[in-house]
Amino acid sequence: MPLLNVLIILIVAGVLLWLVNNYIPMDRKIKGILNFVVVIVVIVWLLNIFGIFNYLKDIQL
């Protein structure tokens, strides 16, 4: 996946999360959980895109 596509997806995800945080009324705890889940999903997606998961699968303990 080209780097430009990754950047565009990250910007769109950030803007959507900002919109949800600012314009949808929710309890503070729910917003915190939502932010945490979105950040974890984006990090896992980035690790998968850059092939870190494939590298981690090959490591034997």
Q: Please, what is the angle between helix 3-23 and helix 28-49, to 10°?
A: 170
Task: Output the pLDDT for position 10.
Answer: 94
Look at residue 53 and tell me whether its pLDDT is greater than 80: no
User: Per-residue pLDDT for 61 more than 80?
Assistant: no
**Residue partners of 46: CB distance under 8 A and separation at least 6:** 6
Q: Which pTM does this prediction carry?
A: 0.77
pLDDT of residue 22: 93
What digits encode the pLDDT tens for the residues 12-43? 999 999 999 999 999 999 999 999 999 999 99
Residues 6+ apart with CB under 8 A from 13: 38, 42
Residue 53 CB neighbours (<10 A): 11
Question: Has residue 51 got a pLDDT over 70?
Answer: yes
